[in-house]
Amino acid sequence: MVNELGPDAYFRQGLANGEINLPKCRDCDRFHFFPRVHCPHCGSIKLTWQPASGKGEVHTTTTVRRRPESGGDYNVCMIELTEGVRMMSRVDGILPVEVKIGLAITAFVGEINGTPAVLCKPAGAE
């Protein structure tokens, strides 16, 4: 898809609209993340954007420790979506120590400090 925005701006615009869109190469048929102007797998510039399934799992995780008056502990994790891309996120809705490698997640667009971001919740959670 040709547009006047750069790939990162296009991705962020999608987040602002509540969408997680991923670049996909039309030549090798693979998704990639982070957004860029060429496919990191085959070098093609024939890219399109497709909505992410939102399904995936936790690939790595750590707990960031903060004082309770500063908001308390939270997790930072690398998630792997079923499309095969990995991205930084966090899992909301459970305690940071309950976030484990392999935990099935559902990604969604939320906010961190007022900025749209990809966040996750355990799969099946309301």
Name the band, by pLDDT with cuts 50, 70 and 90, for residue 1.
very low
Domain holding 87, by residue range, is 55-122
| Same domain assignment for residues 41 and 60 | no
> Does residue 70 sit within a domain?
yes
* In contact, 84 and 75? CB cutoff 8 Å: no
Give me the CATH number covering residue 95. 2.40.50
Q: Is 69 helix (H, G, I), strand (E, B) or coil?
A: helix
**pTM, entire model:** 0.86
* In contact, 87 and 78? CB cutoff 8 Å: yes
| Same domain assignment for residues 68 and 116 | yes
Q: Which residues lie closer than 8 Å to 28 by C-beta, 6 or more apart? A: 39, 41, 42, 44
Number of domains making up the chain: 2
Residue-wise pLDDT tens digits, 61-112: 999 999 999 989 999 999 999 999 999 999 999 999 999 999 999 999 999 9
Angle at 117 between CA 69 and CA 59, to 5 degrees: 90
> Does residue 107 sit within a domain?
yes
